């Protein structure tokens, strides 16, 4: 079902400052900033070969990421994203096992147009997990 780690998402209060720190302190290259209007976030990725770090900052005050920053003003790890081949099969099997899939049942997509879904943290050792579909 799971084919690998896609990325770890870190919420930051200031995307430009985070990008500068990662570049200057760690020598990491952060890609272009993108916006996912549906999720209410600005984001950018650090490519690490077999996985990525996703930096997220709110694009509107009512987004889940803005609410995360209210509770964690300095930011922090938001979720872990796992690759899967087939969203329907994975969410069906997980639901049958009692795992709660977050959302209203409508398909969700990331900025690359890939299908995503989130698992309730209480059903995965207290961690918010994103499933990211990568066909083939």
64's CB contacts (< 8 A; 6+ apart) are 39, 40
Backbone conformation region of residue 49, classed left if phi is above 0, alpha if psi is from -120 to 50, else beta: left
Instruction: Determine whether 130 is an active site residue.
Output: yes
CA distance 102 to 86: 17
Cβ atoms within 10 Å of 2's Cβ, excluding its own: 12
Q: What share of the chain is helix, strand, coil (3-state, %, to 5)?
A: 25, 35, 40
CA distance 66 to 60: 7
Catalytic residue among 54, 130, 132, 133: 130
Residues taking part in catalysis? 130
């Amino acid at each position: 079902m799971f084919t690998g780690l896609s990325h770890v998402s870190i919420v930051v209060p200031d995307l430009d400052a985070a990008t500068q720190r990662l570049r200057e302190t760690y020598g990491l290259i952060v890609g272009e900033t993108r916006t996912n209007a549906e999720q209410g976030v600005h984001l950018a990725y650090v490519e690490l070969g077999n996985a990525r770090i996703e930096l997220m900052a709110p694009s509107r005050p009512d987004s889940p990421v803005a609410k995360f920053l209210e509770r964690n003003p300095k930011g922090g790890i938001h979720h872990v994203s796992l690759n899967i081949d087939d969203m329907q099969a994975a969410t069906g099997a997980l639901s049958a096992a009692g795992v709660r899939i977050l959302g209203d049942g409508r398909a969700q997509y990331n900025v690359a147009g890939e299908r995503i879904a989130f698992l309730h943290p209480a059903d995965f050792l207290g961690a918010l997990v994103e499933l990211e579909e990568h066909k083939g």
